[in-house]
Amino acid sequence: MSFFSTYLQKLALISLKNSADVDHNRKQVVNITYLLAIVVSFISGLIFVWQGWFSESLVHWIGMCASLVGFTLSIKGHSRSARMLLPFAYALYVSFCTFLFYGSQSHFQWLLIVLAAYSVAGYRVSSGKEQVLLCCFALLVFAFNQLFAPISTQYSSKDFQLFVTLATFIVAMMFVVLIAGVVVNKLRKLNEHLRYQAEVDELTRVSNRRKVLAEAVNVFADAVMSNQRCCFAILDLDHFKQINDRYGHDVGDRVLQRCAQVMQNSIRRGDWLGRYGGEEFVLIMPNTRLREAYDIMESLRIQISDLNIFVEGQDQPIVVTTSIGVAEIKDDTLRYEQILARADAALYLAKDNGRNRVELDMSELE
């Protein structure tokens, strides 16, 4: 059943791969419902043919054709028409089968519960009236079948009705599972998107200030508890304002992106890189001593200075350099902000000493 559910979901996504429709999940629900209706009517038609009831099987083939029409409408982009057609075609098919073939004792009419799940997941939250009307419609059709359909028919023996009851339960359960999967997947993707927006700098695609400082707290706490060393570095692109003033902010953004990419590719597994603000970046290096951090930052400084960023209309590329300050946790460090402050002081020392260099926290050298 799990394999069948996965297969149905893949089929439902066929029409959505190249779709620009922002209503992705609701369209997926419509497609899943149509596909499930196609499968049910197709299998029912085969059973009737196998029993020799050829003329009676036409009801199932017609139901399958109606579902195919609706599915085709959905694929072609006529989402509203497909969404509106489904409840009526579905209710008509269930009612015909209940009255003519299965009888109310088979509980086939319970398939109408699918319309309740469909109304919740297939319509917008703002379409409250349509959802209520669809649920009331499903309830009225169900009550009509329950009250007026014959208990059994000439086609339905006791064993056959039991088989239909079990099949009805399986189909309804499968649909609810599929729809629940769509809703859960939608919530998961929304949560991932919100988390990405909250933690990632939109321009450079590295962690933003909030995220990297949150990791700084964690790295500092781990270092204190495990009695290990860690280093913080602050990197600032030299004369970045001049690049913006001369070439424009678009070029300045490109410079930031290229430099951030170099930084991202150069850091080790377990290190944390984030944009601190403007042209400043912070690098958190767990379980790292000061000399090792210096070597890493010196290598990074050289890689950035080797960048050649070409601008349209300019013969000479833009050469970018960076000043870097590095500080290490000490035995008397009480808060991670103290390490950042010492790294910031080392950064200003690098600027005062001519830029394009790495400087260590002076208190460490003492």
Q: List active site positions.
A: 279
Question: What DSSP character marks residue 98?
Answer: I
Is residue 87 helix, strand or coil? helix
Alpha-carbon torsion (366, 351, 208, 294), positive or negative: negative
> Could you give the C-alpha distances from 84 to 34, 60, 120, 166, 258, in angstroms and in order?
12, 20, 14, 29, 50
Task: Report the DSSP beta bridge partners of residue 236.
Answer: 280, 323
CA nearest 222: which of 266, 264, 263, 270? Answer: 270
Question: What DSSP character marks residue 111?
Answer: G
Alpha-carbon torsion (272, 275, 277, 283), positive or negative: positive
Q: Compute the distance between CA of residue 25 and CA of residue 183 in angstroms, rounded to an integer.
A: 8
E-assigned strand segments in 173-307: 230-237, 272-277, 280-286
**Is 206 in contact with 200 (CB distance < 8 Å)?**
yes
Angle among Cα 84, 85, 91 to the nearest 5 degrees reads: 110
**Is 327 in contact with 232 (CB distance < 8 Å)?**
yes
Give the amino acid at 360. Answer: L
